[in-house]
Structure 1
Amino acid sequence: MENLLVESYYFSTVLSFFAQQFFADSHATCIFWHPAFDFRLETVHPMPLIIMDWHRWANRSDQDVYDYKIKEDEFEGKGIPYNDWTLRLTVAIERSHCETFIAFQEQIPEFARYFYHASIYSIWRSLRNRFMFVYTKEFEDKKDSYLSGYIFQDQPNILVITSQYLNSSTFEIKTNRFVGPRNFNKNPEPVEFYILQRFDAKGTKATWETQSAMSSKMRNLKGREVVIGIFDYKPFMLLDYEKPPLYYDRFMNTTDVTIDGTDIQLMLIFCELYNCTIQVDTSEPYDWGDIYLNASGYGLVGMILDRRNDYGVGGMYLWYEAYEYMDMTHFLGRSGVTCLVPAPNRLISWTLLLRPFQFVLWMCVMLCLLLESLALGITRRWEHSSVAAGNSWISSLRFGCISTLKLFVNQSTNYVTSSYALRTVLVASYMIDIILTTVYSGGLAAILTLPTLEEAADSRQRLFDHKLIWTGTSQAWITTIDERSADPVLLGLMEHYRVYDANLISAFSHTEQMGFVVERLQFGHLGNTELIENDALKRLKLMVDDIYFAFTVAFVPRLWPHLNAYNDFILAWHSSGFDKFWEWKIAAEYMNAHRQNRIVASEKTNLDIGPVKLGIDNFIGLILLWCFGMICSLLTFLGELWRGQG
């Protein structure tokens, strides 16, 4: 409770008192100077003030401390329409960080008309905006004609100080109603105001409960509407036309829609606590939309910019382009962008016969066979050197090579030896070869029994290496990626992203070799899987990691009055564990649990496929080898015939 004693200089005293109480914690206060109101603010504590003389704006004098040409060029480059009010207010908010404002008489409708535009165009924003409007009725053409506009409907912290005459000692302190049903007409009626205090300044002591007068508006909204833009996107938000309770759809002008979802539940419970009414708008049923440079847009975010909606959710990420012109809440959850990619096929080719041994082991086998051939050739050469010279080096080495090949394939030789040295080498070679062939046979049997799968593009790096096209229904899936800080893999994946409509994606999932975007929620569930039909899941698998992840938020219009309370509510929501509870509840109630488990299980390849019939593909390598040997034998035979005839 504060006391005010009005003295002879009435307006200075009244404005000083209320500015001290109402603007005490403001970063800076912008005052639009009016020559008829010659006053001076006298406060206990220093108050940073920005004086703006709107009568001199048209002159563009050299007294400006800021070069407005910089902001004009920025507006023109983005295609943003502006005037002096928009330009000056934007600069005042962005550069001086004005949070509180005082406007007088005929300035009030101009300020109310252009302040929202300035607040959108300024990248700096505040959650503590307060407004004081001062006018006298002797200069007014029509009662309360100054107090009309969207700002008086949408902002709770508005204080109006009026008097009958400029030198009057009687004042009315009023504020806007704010709570209760809103007026959504294009030509709204004058905003309802109620008097906080009326007093006569001549020796009358006035009191005003500064804290409770304004804050009580936000504690009980008395059914004030909050409009939510929504389309069906499980589990973040969903529409149902059968289950109660039913909400009013502003687009269809009917009351037959039920809304739910992990992001929607926060607003539903918030409105239970603060006594507000939920309305929905289903006019943008397919996309989140995007923002243009001139502060316009389409989809859900476009509806928020147009102030048709108060609340936009549905797995929305931290989009900087949207943040430039809107406000965002604290994070609602974590979402990872991943893909369903083609499952790996069983690897069958003519190289199947070579797969039991790795390349290095094959080289060791070749070296072993070469050493056997040399050992047999040298032993046979020296076997008869003391008896006869009938065995030359060439015939001995030929014997070594042929015998090694016969032993390697478990074939006998018709050569009879009486030398114990050659017999010993033959036995040793046979033992080595039988071990090699046994190990090879076991490896080949394992390969034919257990499937060998080709590499799938089921990780972020492999998706990039395979240069696989991945697709979604919106450009929003890559809007979150900051190209200035993204790594080369992520930039490469962006080049392979394509946008197709839902029907085309559903058709591609049955036949095409591409990835299909899904969202991995914070507690393990998957979103955006409805486009993939059940019979297409058998040829797809879930990636083992995320392409990228981001925190989801709700986007709201600039100067949304409930943002402070809603952010506090979000933090309490996470602290209590309701985020996990509602994700599991929504998924269990509206999503197919078997389908979810099937997709999650596809992340790990199931090798337990039972016995598989062998086909010609399993032996094509052996057949090719046999054909190669037969062709070589035929050519050799023809060569011998030709040589014999010669």
Structure 2
Amino acid sequence: MVMDRRNDFGIGGMYLWLEAYQTLDMTHFLGRSAVTCLVPSPSRRINWALPLQPFQAMLWLSVMICLLMESLALAIARRFEVTMVTGETGSGRWQSWTKSIQFACVSTLKLFVNQSTSYITVSYTLRTILLASYMIDIILTTLYGGGLAAILTLPSFEEAADSRQRLYQHKLTWTGTSQVWITTIDSKSADPVLMGLMSQFRVYEASKIASYSRSEEMAFVLERVQFGHLANSEPIPNDALNRLKLMVDDIYFSLTVAYVPRLWPFLNVYNDYILAWHSSGFDKYWEWKIAADYMSAHRQNRMLGSQKLNLNLGPVKLGLDNFIGLIMLWLMGMVCSLLAFMAELWCISGQKNLSKQSNNQN
């Protein structure tokens, strides 16, 4: 209609498009329009690795090295005790080393879980090492227990796709009701993030967007106008806003203009009017006035407030998900114990068969 000169100018959500400038003129900028999204809110981090989170990887490595050194010291001290006190020599030397290593490993694990050993020590060397190992292990278990209690009671959340970079890294689909949301993105852009986000965009009807907004599986496009208000949120129902979070930055932004016919005689006068409109502050007044008349202030506050995560959750009841890691470790220990028991039965039965065969041969 503007090209046919049936209208003097066209105004709306139109950006600085090169394709339109080839046939039309454009005015000074009217405002800043940015494209952002409501993304799924981050969920609580609950997984099988929860028992490993109180310590960092380097600290776990230090704990393993400490336990290995304890086992080595206990094995040497036990072998010293057997050799120097009981005077065992000869063919039983390698058997004594095996028993010493077995004693060291079992005692280290018992001390690590605050359990006592039934072995009666004779030498003061072994007693001193056992006391030092117990002191170190009780400090480690106390620190671990405090860290695990903090992780179970204080909420920790997964990373949300609430920025342009994270939206691209999470490969999260974002959707709108029209292809025009990505028209401004230049297909020849050198920014790989923008090009990747362009390929992740999907067009759906408003009814599908309303149903998808409750599934927490995609992001939903919004327009952030110049003075902070959010537009195009009508397809998202109120009950879905609790599950969504506003992005902390914009996917892209551009300046909106009005398009007029070529050689329009009033272009300079209209540009002067736009500059006077900006200078007087009417642009801000009109945006706030339109938002107050046609937008829900409650929805605006909810969407803007979702940008910062509310950690004031109050007391949280612990469920089975909080202990799934401990349960898996317990199941792993039970399976290992069962396998060790079956191996012992097999060894004992094999020794009995050998003894029976030797008795029959005699």
Same fold, judged at TM 0.5 (above): yes
Give the distance between the partners of 1:592 and 1:538, measured in 2 at CA. Answer: 16
Match of 2:314, SS state, is: coil
Q: Which amino acid aligns with 2:310?
A: N
RMSD: 1.6
2:164 aligns with 460
Measure the CA separation in 1 of the matches of 2:218 and 2:225: 22
2-structure distance, mates of 1:438, 1:310: 77
Which among 310, 325, 335 is matched to residue 606 of structure 1?
Answer: 310
TM-score by length of 2: 0.91
The residue correspondences of 1:128-527 to structure 2 (distance < 5 A) are: 303-387=1-85, 388-389=87-88, 392-511=96-215, 513-527=217-231
Kindly provide the amino acid, as one letter, of the partner of residue 155 in structure 2. P
The aligned amino acid for 2:5 is R
Q: Work out whether 1:585 is the aligned partner of 2:289.
A: yes
Answer yes or no: is 1:551 the counterpart of 2:249. no
* Displaced runs of 4 or more, over 6 A: none
Summarize deviations over 1:249-294 as a string: whole Å, max 9, x none.
xxxxxxxxxxxxxxxxxxxxxxxxxxxxxxxxxxxxxxxxxxxxxx
Q: Distance in 1 between matches of 2:183 and 2:13?
A: 13
Are the aligned partners of 2:36 and 2:222 in contact in 1 as well (CA < 8 Å)? yes
Displacement after TM superposition at 1:624 (Å) = 1.3
Q: Give 1:550's aligned amino acid.
A: S
Aligned-pair distance for 1:589? 2.8
Counterpart of 2:321, as a letter, is: D
Aligned length: 344
Structure label with greater radius of gyration: 1
Q: For residues 608-627 of structure 1, what are the structure 2 equivalents within 5 Å?
A: 608-627=312-331
Letter in 2 for 1:370: L
Task: Give 2:340's match in structure 1, choosing from 617, 623, 636.
Answer: 636
Instruction: Tell me if structure 1 keeps the 8 A contact 2:81–2:122.
Output: no
Amino acid at match of 1:619: F
Is the contact between residue 216 and residue 244 of structure 2 (CA under 8 Å) also seen in structure 1? no
Alignment CA distance shift 1:306-1:441 (3 Å) = farther
Distance 1:306 1:500, change over 3 A: farther
Deviation (angstroms), 1:540:
0.8
CA distance in 2: counterparts of 1:345 and 1:438, whole angstroms? 29
Q: Secondary structure at the match of 1:471?
A: strand
In structure 2, C-alpha distance between the alignment counterparts of 1:307 and 1:431, rounded to whole Å: 90
Q: Aligned partner of 2:71: which letter?
A: S
TM-score, normalised by the number of residues in structure 1: 0.52
Contact 2:189/2:195 (8 A) holds in 1: no
Separation in structure 1 between the aligned mates of residue 123 and residue 13 of structure 2, nearest angstrom: 85
Unaligned runs of 5+ in 2: 351-362
- The structural deviation recorded for 1:464 is 0.7
Between the two proteins, what is the percent identity of the paired residues?
71
- The gaps in structure 1 that reach 5 residues or longer are 1-302
Secondary structure at the residue paired with 1:434? helix
Assess, with a 3 A threshold, how the Cα gap between structure 1 residues 325 and 511 changes in structure 2: closer, same or farther.
same
Name the CA distance, whole Å, in 2 between partners of 1:566 and 1:552.
15
One-letter identity of the residue aligned with 1:315: G
Report the structure, 1 or 2, having the larger helix content.
Answer: 2
How far apart in 1 are the matches of 2:148 and 2:7? 66
Q: CA deviation at 1:616?
A: 1.2
Q: 1:507 to 1:561 in 2, by over 3 A?
A: farther
Q: How many Å separate the matches in 2 of 1:521 and 1:544? A: 15
Query: Deviation per CA, 1:311-331, whole angstroms, max 9, x where unpaired?
Result: 322232111111211121101
Residue deviations 1:524-550 (CA, integer Å, cap 9, x gap): 111111121111111111111111111
- Supply the AA of the counterpart residue of 2:202: R
1:443-463: CA deviation from partner (whole Å, max 9, x where unpaired) = 111111122211211111111
**Tell me, what secondary structure is at the counterpart of 1:317?**
coil
Displacement of 1:555: 1.7
1:23-34 correspondence to structure 2 within 5 Å: none
Listed as ranges, the matches of 1:53-202 within 5 Å are none
2:254 maps to a residue whose letter is A
Change (3 A) 1:486 1:573: farther
Q: Alpha carbons of 1:524 and 1:535: their partners in 2 closer, same or farther (altered >3 Å)?
A: same
Aligned AA (1:341)? V
Q: In the TM superposition, what is the alpha-carbon distance from 1:512 to its structure 2 partner?
A: 5.0
